[in-house]
Amino acid sequence: MTSPPLIEIYDIRSEKDVAIFSSKLPSDIISGLSESQGQRTLPSECLYDEIGLKIYNEVVSTWKEYYPYKAEMGIWKQWADDIAHSMSRVQAGGRAVIIEFGAGSLDKTSLFLSALAGTCTSRENTPPITYYALDLSRSELDRTLSDLQNNIGQDVSGKIALKGLWGTYDDAIRILTTNEGNFDKEIPIHILFLGGTIGNFTKGTHDSAFLRSIPLNSERGDTLLLGLDQAKDPEMIERAYNFESARPWIMNGLLAAGKALGKPGLFKDGHWERYAKFNKEMGRFEAGYVSKFDQTLDVPTFGPVLFSSGEVIVVSCSNKYTEPETERLFDDGHLAVVKSWLNEEYKYLLCLLKTKHT
Ligand SMILES: C[S@@+](CC[C@H](N)C(=O)[O-])C[C@H]1O[C@@H](n2cnc3c(N)ncnc32)[C@H](O)[C@@H]1O
């Protein structure tokens, strides 16, 4: 028996000698903590260090109330074939490059890739499609891609090559923009951005700016497949995010922030409580930490920062989009909808988008 081929993971980080995943992270942490009282934040990357991402990937499918996972899984189960057929590969003789931004556990991806393999009529020595999972942790990419290979390797063999990209969204955008990745200029590129992760960017500004920065060539047939969580009953949202078993994942973010600043004990055990609340005004769920009493953090290279009892640090937001907000997101992102699939029960949308000609 021959063993399955080793999966190549390319290191695309702009600075390869840094121990942490993004060289911007320490300065982002310091700038978030040095905001005025009540406005303080930590970057959401703190939730996805090696430990955090492993916890998230292992438990996300088991969180019963966590509808974004169930909603998207439902869409894939029902429409994976339609989605796969909607991604144009015609001009390039059936060839395509797929890059999944913030790929995570790859559970849902396996349904898509199996459907995509079904659109290939034969098996080739050089598979016509290459799939790249992009994420922050090399060890998690190794693990999740090996699981993917074990699950669907035979189905996709000769049709889709499975690969990894180790780096950030910015790194991926850089290699696409400069073509450091040496992608064949004729072959369409399809970006997957799933799980409602666009909701982690600031609504109305950073979300659309991020979408605009993804270099898509609609003449070549490039597309972006985007998972978008729509506005819904706040109770459903709070139930989905505010459950006990997510606590270790969220609380690890404090340790990750301390480690990124070279001071793992910066946030002392027992001094912070988990924060989880739907912010009605901003239409977003907020996760973070509440200071249990007045305390001072000695932030490396910055100095002392005073936190009052009850003060909140937000580490992650999850925007829920109304219809006008969705239209504005696409307009400002210079994107047009090719086709969309809605999970009505959970009000969750998967949209295939292309660059709008202005
Ligand atoms: C909410 S999870 C979604 C995972 C997966 N896409 C899904 O739908 O289940 C966000 C993912 O994005 C990754 N991520 C967060 N910030 C990132 C960044 N700046 N660059 C690349 N990946 C990032 C995390 O490691 C994590 O895998």
Question: Closest ligand 1 atom, CA of 168?
Answer: 20
pLDDT at 44: 94
Give the pLDDT confidence of 99-112 residue by residue, as tens digits: 999 999 999 999 99
As for how many domains the chain has, the answer is: 2
The verdict on 71 and 218 lying in the same domain is yes
Say if residue 308 is exposed, middle or buried (CB neighbours under 10 Å; 0-12, 13-18, 19+): exposed
Residue 16 forms part of a structural domain = no
Whole-angstrom distance, CA of residue 129 vs CA of residue 116: 9
The verdict on 80 and 183 lying in the same domain is yes
The verdict on 211 and 77 lying in the same domain is yes
Its domain, for residue 44, covers 25-53+234-319
Residue 9 forms part of a structural domain = no
The verdict on 83 and 191 lying in the same domain is yes
* Cα 14 to ligand 1 centre (Å): 18
Give the pLDDT confidence of 256-304 residue by residue, as tens digits: 999 999 999 999 999 999 999 999 999 999 999 999 999 999 999 999 9
Residue 2 forms part of a structural domain = no
Whole-angstrom distance, CA of residue 63 vs CA of residue 257: 25
**Residue identifier of the C-alpha nearest atom 23 of ligand 1:** 102
Say if residue 168 is exposed, middle or buried (CB neighbours under 10 Å; 0-12, 13-18, 19+): buried
**For position 122, which CATH number holds?**
3.40.50.150
- Please determine, for residue 18, whether its predicted confidence score (pLDDT) is greater than 80: no
Whole-angstrom distance, CA of residue 181 vs CA of residue 134: 13
Query: Distances from the Cα of 11 to the Cαs of 121, 137, 138, 168, 261, in angstroms?
Result: 32, 11, 9, 10, 23
Q: Taking Cα atoms as reference points, which of 232, 244, 250 lies closest to residue 312?
A: 250
Q: Taking Cα atoms as reference points, which of 81, 249, 57 lies closest to residue 145?
A: 57
The verdict on 151 and 31 lying in the same domain is no
Pocket of ligand 1 (CB under 6 A): 45, 48, 53, 102-105, 134-136, 168-169, 194-195, 197
